[in-house]
Structure 1
Amino acid sequence: MSTFGTHFRVTTYGESHCRSVGCIVDGVPPGLPITEADIQPQMTRRRPGQSALTTPRNEKDKVEIQSGTEFGITLGTPIAMMVRNEDQRPHDYGGGGKSDMDSFPRPSHADFTYLEKYGVKASSGGGRSSARETIGRVAAAGIAEKYLTLSHSVSIVAWVSGVGSEHQFPPTAQHPTYATQPEFLSLIDTVTREKVDSFAPIRCPDSASAARMTKTIEQFRDAHDSIGGTVTCVIRNCPIGLGEPCFDKLEATLAHAMLSLPATKGFEIGSGFGGCEVPGSTHNDPFFVDPTTGKLRTRTNNSGGIQGGISNGAHIYFRVAFKPPATIGQQQATARYGGEEGVLEAKGRHDPCVVPRAVPIVEAMASLVVMDALMGQVSREGMRSRLPALEGKMSGMMLGVGESGTNANSGDVARVVNGGGDGEGK
């Protein structure tokens, strides 16, 4: 349907060329300071018309909070937010019978499938399949990010890591997965949104890669064509213990969130597909005791910060693949809804590549996933805290593991009982 989340529930509404788009957010904790000023920066990063690399549609995308706050403080009641569509051109798509486009299902677009599913479809743009729908997601994420920042200093940063065949971190014989490339590991430690935006409009934080990617998009744009790409995202300071085995593992909900975005075609987390090319002895993430905190952590992070579907405290990082935008300016031989063969030359305003504007949308969905998972875990911990203490029978003590990471009685390295949580112990 149009609702995402279990505890932090986001319902979006609106089509690409209706009067407004927006969302209703339920489950927002009361007492959170929030105003339009907290939400607008990401809306502005997402908006169309930013540069010659994006659609020329000119929208301010100014968000308006309609309910759920008073004097800039959340009340705990549903928050409604709205963005008005100001630069509407439904006639570009056949609205009102002024164009031939409405007689064709656009190749690789959602026109045909929406019509088959509902028996009716929006005549203008992509309707609900348009990226315009993501405005509600980004607005809702502004609330989630504010809470995550104040409560746990969570930092979520995404950037363009590939356009067409141009990659920021191409695989090599030594590093078939970017998860082991020193440059990548250094980047996810330090990258910021300000750094990413300093490479606008392409949003790839590397000068050489940004130049190549920009040139690629320009070539396809000038040929009235389109091209796809990838966005990489890192989540830092994510609390340990988020994720709900078995069907709502944290990587599963992240995949759900990312693949719900328009134009997405792939998702990989941690070492991803490249990690399948190395042996377990290389891929495993050994533990050690951090001398600063006295707690266990992993020496490497091929797992991408999630093990057994549960966050382990390391950086969570993943990559999302976006296909070339379906609507292009070239003539395409195709068929009309009636079955007659014809030639479609699409009108309207569209991105030649979606990834530069997808950056804040990927960040938004990541924040919604973390917020929802955190609320579930906090609820569980709150219920557990009302029970009598188990006097050392649980946690590490169950396995005889002391703070040193060894058996508290014999000094031997503790052995895990009954297998692991990632496909082992079957």
Structure 2
Amino acid sequence: MKNTFGNHISITLFGESHGEAIGAVLDGLPAGFEIDLDKLNWEMEKRKAKGKLSTRRQEADQVQFVSGFFEGKTTGTPLTILIANTNTRSQDYAQLKYRLRPGHADLAAFEKYSGYQDYRGGGHFSGRLTAPIVAAGAICRQILEAKGVRLATHIQSLHGIVDDDFDFDSACLTQQMDILNQKEFPVLNEQAEEKMKEEIQQASANLDSVGGILQTVITGFPAGIGEPFFDSIESTLSHLMFSIPAVKGISFGEGFGFAHLYGSQANDPIIIQDGVIQTQTNRNGGINGGISNGMPIVFQTCIKPTPSIYQPQHSVNYQTKEDVILEIKGRHDPAIIHRARAVVDALSAFGLLDLWMSHQATTSFEA
């Protein structure tokens, strides 16, 4: 079972939704970096379930450093993060042990682990495991920010409701990113925000759920980082985004819109401005040949509707092989897209920091 990712730095993920604790190990971090715990806790806050838009399972998500952190700074040794599970109701899942939940990993888990998996709350497949990812990514984000790299994510659309676009004029973009990073519900247009919240609450009232698309922008990331093929920026970020349980699609820059363009429209004209070579447009999302070109990195991730819904659904009992009508109980989100924003930001920061550190390690040996 592979739960470790990364080259120059690595993250190892462990735990189950209803186990004693969940956590992550970050290995390869530079020594002596001061971690701002207030910033880390704010990233955790953005992932938390709150109010009518989220599950009623509300965890404190208090981050505990077990190793690799001393007197406020990283030591350079493996940094181990623990987060206790304190609000579990495992009895909600007892009747579901063999009843396969549509949209969940239950069937695939039985086939892979022969019934030995922890089925409570989705076990290791649960979105609960994104909490230590956010904590680990928040540290990586702080390291990037110290080097002038900034990132932000907004809900580009939710069930057909569309937010304002990023304004890529440098001053306006910086302001938009600042606004989003201070909001729990990451939307630029206030009217769109209210409509999205109403749509989520309506889905909840209908015993249903909704999904949408997140859009992420990263500025200040240096040109020349990434590899042409297997460790391209696109392949690295895609690998990480698809590790988020709810993600079902990713695109970069113009994305699938390229299918409707001519080459003359798809290409970004190259210009020189204030002595700096850059592109006039950014349809390729700041990446060419798998390598950063100095423009903002832009990508979209598709978040599917939460699979745990309260409507009756057709399913099968894995043990008896009989048809059943499944009615899920317990506490579930009518939408997770606003909470997933923090996870996308975290894994973006981790992936880009790993690529940058690998690049630095290589170039330090060049003639």
What TM-score bracket applies, with the shorter chain setting the length? Answer: over 0.9
- Highest RCO, 1 vs 2 (Cα 8 Å, sep ≥ 6): 2
Query: What secondary structure sits across from 1:43 in the alignment?
Result: helix
Query: What secondary structure sits across from 2:315 in the alignment?
Result: strand
Instruction: Please give the per-residue CA displacement for 1:345-399, whole angstroms capped at 9, x wherever unaligned.
Output: 1012111111010111110010011100010111111111xx2xxxxxxxxxxxx
User: 2:8, 2:39 → 1: CA distance?
Assistant: 22
Counterpart of 2:117 (choices 96, 121, 124) is: 121
Aligned to 2:75: 75
Aligned AA (2:333)? D
Task: Find out whether 1:359 has 2:341 as its counterpart.
Answer: yes
Distance 1:227 1:27, change over 3 A: same
How many angstroms does 1:266 deviate by? Answer: 0.5
Computing the radius of gyration over CA atoms, which structure comes out larger, 1 or 2? 1
Contact 1:110–1:129 at 8 Å: present in 2 too?
yes
Aligned AA (1:328)? I
Aligned to 1:58: 58
Task: Find out whether 1:192 has 2:174 as its counterpart.
Answer: no
How many angstroms does 1:297 deviate by? Answer: 0.7
Aligned to 2:314: 333
Task: Find out whether 1:321 has 2:322 as its counterpart.
Answer: no
User: 2:122, 2:28 → 1: CA distance?
Assistant: 30
User: 1:383, 1:243 → 2: CA distance?
Assistant: 17
Query: What secondary structure sits across from 1:210 in the alignment?
Result: helix
**Which consecutive unaligned segments of at least 5 residues does structure 2 have?**
none
Aligned to 2:88: 88
Task: Find out whether 1:381 has 2:363 as its counterpart.
Answer: yes
Distance 1:218 1:197, change over 3 A: farther
Distance 1:28 1:242, change over 3 A: same
Percent of aligned positions that are identical: 35
Counterpart of 1:235 (choices 212, 215, 218) is: 218
Query: What secondary structure sits across from 2:97 in the alignment?
Result: helix
Task: Find out whether 1:303 has 2:284 as its counterpart.
Answer: yes
Aligned to 1:106: 101
User: 1:208, 1:316 → 2: CA distance?
Assistant: 27
Bigger fraction of residues in strand:
2
TM-score normalised by L of structure 2: 0.95
How many angstroms does 1:21 deviate by? Answer: 0.8
Contact 2:232–2:291 at 8 Å: present in 1 too?
yes
Aligned to 2:247: 264
Distance 1:368 1:342, change over 3 A: same
Contact 1:36–1:64 at 8 Å: present in 2 too?
no
Aligned to 1:15: 16
Contact 1:13–1:22 at 8 Å: present in 2 too?
yes
User: 1:64, 1:161 → 2: CA distance?
Assistant: 33
User: 1:82, 1:205 → 2: CA distance?
Assistant: 34
TM-score normalised by L of structure 1: 0.82
Contact 1:240–1:310 at 8 Å: present in 2 too?
yes
- TM-align CA RMSD: 1.6
User: 2:276, 2:158 → 1: CA distance?
Assistant: 40
User: 1:133, 1:58 → 2: CA distance?
Assistant: 14
* Mapping for residues 102-181 of structure 1, pairs under 5 Å: 102-119=97-114, 120-150=116-146, 152-168=147-163
Aligned to 2:229: 246
Query: What secondary structure sits across from 2:30 in the alignment?
Result: coil
Contact 1:36–1:63 at 8 Å: present in 2 too?
no
Dislocated runs of 4+, deviation >6 Å? none
Deviates more, 1:219-228 or 1:274-283: 274-283
Contact 1:111–1:121 at 8 Å: present in 2 too?
no
How many angstroms does 1:216 deviate by? Answer: 1.3
Query: What secondary structure sits across from 1:227 in the alignment?
Result: coil
User: 1:275, 1:320 → 2: CA distance?
Assistant: 16
Instruction: Please give the per-residue CA displacement for 1:184-224, whole angstroms capped at 9, x wherever unaligned.
Output: 535645322544544x4x42111122122112111111111
How many angstroms does 1:123 deviate by? Answer: 2.4
How many angstroms does 1:136 deviate by? Answer: 1.8
User: 2:305, 2:355 → 1: CA distance?
Assistant: 32
User: 2:152, 2:354 → 1: CA distance?
Assistant: 18
Query: What secondary structure sits across from 2:110 in the alignment?
Result: helix
